[in-house]
Structure 1
Amino acid sequence: MRFRLLLAFGALMLGSQASAQSGAEGRWTLVIHGGAGTIERDRITAEQDAAIRAALSHALETGSAILRGGGTSMDAIEATIRELEDDPNFNAGRGAVFTYDGTIEHDASIMDGTTRAAGAVTGTSHTRHPVTLARRVMTESPHVFLRGSGADEFSLAQRLEQVENSWFETDRRRRQLEEFLAGETAGLSAYDVDLKYGTVGAVAVDTNGNVAAATSTGGMTGKRWGRIGDSPVIGAGTYADNRGCAVSATGSGEYFIRVGVAHEICAQIRFRFQQNLAAARASVPVDEEGVPEYYVHASEFGLEANEVQEIADSVIAEMAELGGTGGVIVTTPWGTGTYSFNTPGMYRGMASSEGGASVAIYGDE
């Protein structure tokens, strides 16, 4: 009996919007981060360590519950990020860092790997959950990226929850601004203050094989002149494509923008997968009519975990050659999840349908 070649990901290779469900059906993975940097045991108290782990675990469970129940990757990452935006341990939402002028401005982005639709905002001042605003930009406007007062105006029109800018303030971040301003004449940069990039992010693949990514941040302490980092920049701090993977980044944003880190990782995974699939297709025997003699399931040719890790590590290394530091989280349509960072630590967590959940802080965990 003759079978025509079945390439479940063939449509993806041609750029369609089809999902990768044949490769990940019934499986899900969620990976989160709360920032990278000089995160070392002698810089973090036992109380801070416990609070951060608890916050990561809570956010991880929030998103996992959605995926476990058959929800979408988009819903899972938005809900996860909202939890982290409300936690003052992280540089996003409440607990974000101060600008040079003593205000708080937020950046966020989100991307759907199924359609490559995306939304992003920068310089918002009153929206409690910037990630939700970014998603509304994606779903309720003809645009991808809104800034400043325009983004705030759109948020009001969408009737999203608004708060006073002072609601986002914390004493810890105020002290960091004071340290920055005091050290400015000594030649310190915004990167030198506490050396923790507290951006938050989440990537997920749902039981239909669809990936999504989101990132939210307050930027860097003492930022000026309308500075925009990588977090709201699609392709730099956030990217998702069912043909490759989903990525959220954290670190020295200028360098992530220059390398296009998130897109670069996704592109390399996509092309490596396509090569694997093309080689498999070429090796299938055909009959005298040119009909392949058996099925080739694309899910069998998804990249191994070590291949995904290798690609993520190589792009972080490329960024480091320019002087950048930070990290990324990655998940693929076939369920592989990983982290890569070149800093002493990164607040992070991972959960999946295959192996429970875990959180970590330091590089040696």
Structure 2
Amino acid sequence: MTKPFSIAIHGGAGTILPEQMSEALSTEIRHDLEKSVRAGHQILARGGDAVAAVVAAVKVLEDSPNFNAGRGSVLTHTEMVEMDASVMHGKNANAGAVAGVRHIRNPVELARDVMEHSPHVLLIGDGAEEFAFKHQYQYTEQDYFVTDRRYEQLQSMKEKGLFALSESKYPDDNKHGTVGAVAMDQHGNLAAATSTGGITNKQYGRVGDSAITGAGTFAENGNVAVSATGMGEYFIRKTVASEIAARMRYLKEDVHQACEAVIQGDLKAMGGEGGVIAIDGDGEIHFAMNSSGMYRASIDIDGTLTVKIYVDE
């Protein structure tokens, strides 16, 4: 017996204000969000697996220069792109992740292949890329990922001695532009995927929550799938994604209660800004954020499409 299916995606949360957003950029971003969620939904509609759906959705956002993942990733202190991604399948708690990759066009695909074609969960740096090339991935030059916007952003950060997305002249400066997707397929499987370029001007091989199972990504059949976006260090310390799952599993909170309790509760009290997208075992979707906006879209079990940016939409 097939079940209803649904999908939700995000392109980052943070200080996203209408007065800072041009109409042209808003239209472009909304188009990307719709394209992403439709790509994943088409797979679900054909009876495809939830993992295939979330990977397809995230790839669309990685390929867009408008988000901090894949092409358009922010730059490190040494003017490089270093990307992280993770995928989790709720059926057998299987997971795969990569961190610090520099020459892989779609890190979310590599994270999936770590999950499906290796005995490991997390591969980093040169080792992750060695694994990729053994599995016929193409070497992608850094020039593909770097945009003028991100280069200017890095210079602004260096001048101010900062290492975040909070102090430059772009409309999404104070935004944590991680991208992600969660889905439930017709077989009741839940899956989540998350991908990011990290933070501007990062040093020392820093890795955030996007590559950490249970922090930025989590999926458990019959319970919930979660993808997070925000200040990674806080999301790791609070193990945000697994905390939401635990509240649902043990306290019997619904997806709305659990997400809000974590995002508006301890995480916010710690100083952690950001949000999550989540989907429960019935395909119910929830977006939670303690910021002024989150790029997001969904197609629910009734087939209704929504695309939103600001917190009050």
**Which band: TM-score by shorter chain?**
over 0.9
Q: What does residue 131 of structure 1 align with?
A: 108
In structure 2, what residue type is equivalent to 1:199?
T
- 1:270, 1:80 → 2: CA distance? 27
1:10-57 Cα shifts (integer Å, max 9, x gaps): xxxxxxxxxxx7xxx430010100000110111111110000000000
Which residues of 2 match residues 316-335 of structure 1 at below 5 A?
316=263, 317-335=265-283
In structure 1, the partner of 2:74 is 97
Residue number in structure 2 paired with 1:350:
298
Q: d(CA) in 2 for partners of 1:42 and 1:156?
A: 44
1:286-301 alignment, distance < 5 Å: none
- Look up the match of 2:259: 312
Percent identity between the two aligned chains? 47
* 1:32 and 2:6 correspond: no
Q: Deviations over 1:188-231 (max 9, x none)?
A: 44242311111000000011111000000000001100101000
Partner Cα separation in structure 1 for residue 121 and residue 303 of structure 2: 35
Instruction: Write the letter of the residue equivalent to 1:350.
Output: S
1:168 aligns with 2:130: no
Secondary structure at the residue paired with 2:194? strand
User: What are the residue-to-residue correspondences of 1:145-294 with 2, within 5 Å?
Assistant: 145-184=122-161, 188-193=162-167, 194-273=173-252
CA contact (8 A) 1:109 1:231 kept: yes
1:215/1:238 contact within 8 Å kept:
yes
Shift, 1:73, TM fit: 0.5
Residue aligned with 1:360, SS = strand
Give ranges in structure 2 of 5+ residues lacking alignment: 168-172
The separation in 2 between residues aligned to 1:335 and 1:65, in whole angstroms, is: 16
SS of structure 2 residue aligned to 1:231: helix
**What are the residue-to-residue correspondences of 1:34-73 with 2, within 5 Å?**
34-73=11-50
Q: Which amino acid aligns with 1:190?
A: A
Could you give the per-residue CA deviations for residues 124-164 of structure 1, whole angstroms, max 9, x where no partner exists? 01011100000111111111000000001111001123210
Alpha-carbon separation, structure 2, partners of 1:338 and 1:356? 14
- Quote the Cα distance in structure 2 between the aligned partners of 1:116 and 1:244: 12
2:56 is the counterpart of 1:79 = yes
- The 2-side partners of 1:81 and 1:189 are apart by 25
Alignment gaps of 5+ in structure 1:
1-20, 274-302
Which residue of the partner structure matches residue 309 of structure 2? 361
What does residue 121 of structure 2 align with?
Answer: 144
- TM-superposed CA distance for 1:271, in Å, is 2.0
Matched residue count: 307
Report if the CA contact (8 A) 1:99-1:223 is conserved.
yes
Q: What is the CA–CA distance in structure 1 between the aligned matches of 2:67 and 2:256, rounded to whole Å?
A: 26
Q: How far did residue 69 of structure 1 move?
A: 1.2
Give the aligned partner of residue 337 of structure 1.
Answer: 285
Q: What's the secondary structure of 1:250's corresponding residue?
A: strand
Q: Is the 8 A contact 2:188 2:222 kept in 1?
A: no
Give structure 1 regions of 4+ aligned residues with deviation exceeding 4 angstroms.
Answer: none
* Distance (whole Å) between structure 1 residues aligned to residue 42 and residue 120 of structure 2: 31
1:364 and 1:26 map into 2 onto residues whose CA distance is 31
Once the two structures are TM-superposed, the CA of residue 244 in structure 1 deviates from its matched residue by 1.6
Partner of 2:170: none
**Shift of the alpha carbon at 1:267?**
1.3
Aligned-partner Cα distance in 1 for 2:44–2:4 = 9
Deviates more, 1:113-122 or 1:159-168: 159-168
**Does the aligned pair in 2 maintain the 1:243–1:270 contact within 8 Å?**
no
Q: Which has the greater radius of gyration? A: 1
Report the alpha carbon displacement of residue 355 of structure 1 after superposing the two structures with TM: 3.9
- Check whether the contact 1:191–1:252 (CA below 8 A) recurs between aligned residues: no
SS in 1 for 2:53: helix
Cα distance per residue 1:169-203 (max 9 Å; x no partner): 1011111101100111xxx4424231111100000
Contact 2:32–2:61, Cα closer than 8 Å, also in 1: yes
Give the aligned residue type for 2:256: Q
In structure 2, distance between residues paired with 1:118 and 1:136: 10
Contact kept in structure 2, 1:244 and 1:267, CA below 8 Å: no
